[in-house]
Structure 1
């Protein structure tokens, strides 16, 4: 039999991962149904044959590059446990800046918000967990992602969020929102990073946009003017080199009070504008 300690030591052989030890801990904890801290409390615990076979299979898939979130089927975002699958982007910690910014700009307890390209529902559900009085529409083009976001919404019992299928604004009836926010596709199709890491296993439609990654952001900015109330906010996440171009897009769309915000690494990763 192989112990927890011996299995954790295998992280040294995990290829192409900057977080090999963490990945191994998460997979092992997932198999055993235990928190990561338990692994270090019981390092001599011997896995059963079935547990070892299951861990070996997941470890090998991770070694071949599959994202940990796809292997476990879950990812935490804003302290919420979200189900994930290959139909959507995996929620990333840097997107929590978008949630933080929305809460800063909109302290009111009641408003109407629109989350475009919701994926797992991460952004909309995070906001609803903080502001139970907000009414939030979460739109998504992919039918599979809509079903996933709805499953997450039900599991978290966040009834003020409406998940609907829409290609950006296409299926959203004319109405006014106090806040529109989005983490849209913004990667250039020629970007070599598309062939590296976890993004190899994520849907290209959720990653890549035309015009060097700016086409969807431009469309969202232009149409948002029709859907925002006076003084309503638009918040969009984008690539670390795109801030100046996005500010120009916001200005051309007629937005005001435009500024870009830096993430914790010091990169300008989202831009805000006001109608």
Structure 2
């Protein structure tokens, strides 16, 4: 079996780009190798791995879980089924956070529900003056996040616990979060590989606003004067999020769109 023959064998089962990326990962070859030397033999163990991955990808398992990594903001993050796969929509949350941190001297930031750590690690690397703390309830997710921080040399203080529970008595200039916000029973949970992702990171098992309510209700007690709260949410949750922020005493409650023009992040300040 050669590289070219292996790719041909996957034709019709999965997308050609997915097949190429899986073959590169299974054989440790490059795209250039596939183009220039398709006649290169594939060892039996690598081909067996490729065949297994093709079958799993054809069954809907996300490519990122198969190869164990995904790109976000130009960096490669390791992922596993314990964490959500990074999505470009979350870049809006980071861009807004960086904007709020501009001009601050040694600001303090906490990322609630850090998952793979993409938000905390990105903020630590892109705002090196900041002190960044990350919280997650899942020990398995925390292990992934710690590994990403170590690999990318980001200084992040990780805490295990439920939302603000590990942060008693602490205050921050900025609180950010990408919490579970998909409503229980939403048909999207059965599509696009979502059944393979951790359900506790996707849905609150209720109306999709339970976790946001908890974060908004307790955020003021952990913010410095003038501090900001920013959180990601669903396409139809902007108005509800602004109402929650206003009711909790936040000023300038606003909703910001992602690159597709869809409501994606809401926030306000004390």
TM range (shorter): over 0.9
Q: Structure 2 stretches of 5 or more lacking a match?
A: none
Alpha carbons 1:74, 1:84 under 8 Å: kept: yes
Alpha carbons 2:115, 2:141 under 8 Å: kept: yes
Structure-to-structure mapping, 1:20-31, within 5 angstroms: 20-31=15-26
Match of 2:137 in 1: 141
- How many residue pairs end up in the alignment? 269
Q: Is residue 3 of structure 2 the alignment partner of residue 7 of structure 1?
A: no
**Runs of 4 or more consecutive aligned structure 1 residues displaced over 4 Å after TM superposition:** none
For 2:11 and 2:197, locate their aligned partners in 1 and report how far apart those are by CA, in whole Å. Answer: 24
For 1:269 and 1:37, locate their aligned partners in 2 and report how far apart those are by CA, in whole Å. Answer: 38
For 1:35 and 1:85, locate their aligned partners in 2 and report how far apart those are by CA, in whole Å. Answer: 23
For 1:254 and 1:178, locate their aligned partners in 2 and report how far apart those are by CA, in whole Å. Answer: 16
141-150 or 34-43, which deviates more: 34-43
SS in 1 for 2:167: coil
TM-score (norm 2): 0.93
Structure-to-structure mapping, 1:77-92, within 5 angstroms: 77-92=72-87
Structure-to-structure mapping, 1:114-263, within 5 angstroms: 114-159=110-155, 161-263=156-258
For 2:164 and 2:8, locate their aligned partners in 1 and report how far apart those are by CA, in whole Å. Answer: 47
Deviation of 1:44 (Å) = 4.0
RMSD of aligned residue pairs (Cα, Å):
1.8
For 2:232 and 2:31, locate their aligned partners in 1 and report how far apart those are by CA, in whole Å. Answer: 31
Structure-to-structure mapping, 1:38-53, within 5 angstroms: 38-53=33-48
TM-score (norm 1): 0.92
Deviation of 1:114 (Å) = 0.4
Change (3 A) 1:92 1:5: farther
Deviation of 1:6 (Å) = 5.4
For 2:242 and 2:205, locate their aligned partners in 1 and report how far apart those are by CA, in whole Å. Answer: 18
Could you list the per-position Cα deviations for residues 158-191 of structure 1 after superposition, in whole angstroms to 9, with x for gaps in the alignment? 23x1011010001212121011000000011110
Q: Is residue 29 of structure 2 the alignment partner of residue 34 of structure 1?
A: yes
Alpha carbons 2:86, 2:118 under 8 Å: kept: yes
Could you list the per-position Cα deviations for residues 184-203 of structure 1 after superposition, in whole angstroms to 9, with x for gaps in the alignment? 00011110111122210111
SS in 2 for 1:205: helix
Residue of structure 2 aligned with 1:61, choices 49, 56, 71: 56
Deviation of 1:50 (Å) = 2.6
For 2:113 and 2:102, locate their aligned partners in 1 and report how far apart those are by CA, in whole Å. Answer: 23
